[in-house]
Amino acid sequence: AQPPRTVTVTGAAGNIGYALLFRIASGEMLGADVPVRLRLLEVPAALRAAEGTAMELADAAFPLLADVQVTHDPAVAFDGVQHALLVGARPRSAGMERGDLLEANGGIFGPQGQAINDHAAEDVRVVVVGNPANTNALIAASHARDVPADRFTALTRLDHNRAVSQLAAKAGVAVTDVDGITVWGNHSATQFPDLTHARVRVGGADGGWRPALEVVDAGWAAEEFIPRVAERGAEIISVRGASSAASAASATIDHMRDWFLGTGVGTDGQARRTSAAIVSDGSYGVPEGLISSFPVVSEGGQWRIVPGLEPDAALLPDAAERLERTVAELDEEREAVTGLGLL
Ligand code: NAI
């Protein structure tokens, strides 16, 4: 058997944590032959609830679950961590200004980044789920000077999965018959889910791949698809009465599994692409160092930005502006947290 891998989940007593932990313990994230050691980090007020979740994890008798530890101390939680899932964050409360929100989260993600720097394993991989996810990831990375910047990522896979599902439904095909979507930029309302290089396979397994914007019309893409995906979180809250939790957990698993095990090849034998917020190397005009969502593949345990997929203005007239707008927002957030002394 392989040695256990250490997985830390912050905000473990929260809604996403509850949907996430059991799937990790069942082997869905790292593979059916990899035992896991779970570290649950919570604030003191939620420790008892996290203990309750740990009891349920024991009750599930997962063959792959080697150990569970619950703590409020980041130094303990991140000791030897190989997969850090940073879910716990400070939500925006009524009347809270953006600066207050960034500052409150800086108070969480700065120390957690420092603890990762001081205690994590050499091969640590971090995904930030707690909002504002991209900028929280930037803050954590900036406090982990000894950890390569490309180990800090933020979750836009939920947005990507939502986009896949919306396109498949509109085209009347299975989700496996859709590929090539990119979510660009920030995990926020400015995000740009881009169909200009997407494809749809019409006619099932024996069918041929066609450009998505020949199968669905560009007007739908601009007027319905983009806002629908970007505002899906709010739609879930209004219908469900609570924010996305199981779908966010599922996307977090997809992100970490693809990062660790690779994105592999699609049904057509070509590299399978997805979207993830990773540190920019300056590609696509995104300022270096920002943690922005890109078209990516994962190979050899590393994310790589796929070049040559500039949003196509011939198919969506304001494509370039949409990319610029969401990147500008990330740049403003970086300036704001720099101004607050959080980097
Ligand atoms: P929740 O409020 O149910 O749970 C959050 C948990 O984090 C709470 O138990 C809280 O005690 C804990 N926490 C707060 N500060 C902490 C700290 N310093 N250390 C450890 N734990 C801490 O929230 P939920 O629904 O689980 O969502 C968590 C976060 O995920 C939110 O910020 C939400 O906005 C974000 N989110 C991100 C998505 C994405 O696609 N990137 C999608 C959905 C939610």
Distance 113 CA to ligand 1 centre (A): 16
Of 162, 161, 132, give the one whose Cα is nearest residue 329: 132
338 in a domain, yes or no? no
For CA atoms 133, 254, 118, 302, give the dihedral sign: negative
Has residue 336 been placed in a domain? Answer: no
Residue range 266-280, pLDDT digits in tens: 877 889 999 999 999
**CATH code for position 200:** 3.90.110.10
In order of 6, 73, 224, 343, the CA distances from 49 in angstroms are 21, 16, 40, 32
Q: Which atom of ligand 1 is nearest to the CA of 245?
A: 25
Last residue of a domain, one of 154, 180, 199: 154
ipTM, two decimals, is: 0.99
Last residue of a domain, one of 154, 175, 200: 154
pLDDT band for 98, please (50, 70, 90 cuts): confident
Q: Say what the pLDDT of residue 66 is.
A: 98
pLDDT-based confidence at residue 42 (cuts at 50, 70, 90): very high
Domain span at residue 122?
A: 5-154
Average pLDDT, the chain: 96
Task: Measure 87 CA to ligand 1 centroid, in angstroms.
Answer: 5
Same domain, 23 and 150: yes
Q: Whose CA is nearest to atom 6 of ligand 1?
A: 11
pLDDT in tens, 313-333: 999 999 999 999 999 999 999
**Is residue 162 domain-shared with residue 113, that is, in the same domain?**
no
Residues 146 and 270 in one domain: no
**264 and 168 housed in the same domain:** yes
As a whole number, mean pLDDT of residues 258-265 equals 97
- pLDDT of amino acid 97: 87
If you measure from the C-alpha of residue 17 to the centroid of ligand 1, how many angstroms do you get, rounded to a whole number? 8
- Which residues, in sequence order, are bridge partners of residue 67? 37
Give pLDDT, residue 174.
96
Measuring from each residue's beta carbon to the nearest atom of ligand 1, which residues come in under 6 Å? 10-11, 13-17, 41-43, 46, 87-89, 91, 108, 129-131, 133, 155, 158, 187, 243-245, 248
Nearest-CA residue for atom 30 of ligand 1: 130
Residue 342 lies in a domain: no
The reported pLDDT for the residue numbered 246 is: 98
Residue labelled with tokens 């994105």 = 263
Distance from residue 129's CA to the centre of ligand 1 (Å): 8
Degrees to nearest 5, angle at CA 162 with 304 and 158: 55
Q: What is the pLDDT of residues 226-238, one digit of tens each?
A: 999 999 999 999 9
Residue 127 falls within a domain, yes or no?
yes
The protein residue whose alpha carbon is closest to atom 27 in ligand 1 is: 16
**Contact call for residues 133 and 154 (beta carbons, < 8 A):** yes
If one residue of 9, 10, 15, 16 were mutated to test the ligand 1 pocket, choosing by the most ligand atoms within 8 A of its CB, it would be 16
Q: Is 143 part of the annotated catalytic residue set?
A: no
Reported confidence tier of residue 106, pLDDT bands at 50, 70, 90: very high
94: domain CATH number?
3.40.50.720
Q: Does one domain contain both 181 and 315?
A: yes
Total-model pTM? 0.98
Looking at 154, 187, 203, the residue that finishes a domain is 154
- Residue-wise pLDDT for 9-18, tens only, equals 999 999 999 9
Atom of ligand 1 nearest to the CA of 128: 41
Strand ranges, E, within the chain: 5-10, 36-41, 65-71, 83-86, 125-128, 152-154, 178-179, 182-184, 192-194, 199-202, 208-211, 274-279, 291-299, 302-305
Count CB atoms within 10 A of the CB of residue 4: 17
| pLDDT tens per residue, range 78-97 | 999 999 999 999 988 888 88
pLDDT of residue 134: 98
Average pLDDT over residues 187-204: 96
Number of domains in the chain: 2
Specify if 135 maps to a domain: yes
C-alpha of residue 289 to centroid of ligand 1, in Å: 25
Catalytic residue among 160, 187, 197, 255: 187
Q: Is 332 helix (H, G, I), strand (E, B) or coil?
A: helix
Classify residue 34 as exposed, middle or buried by CB count within 10 Å of its CB (0-12, 13-18, 19+).
middle
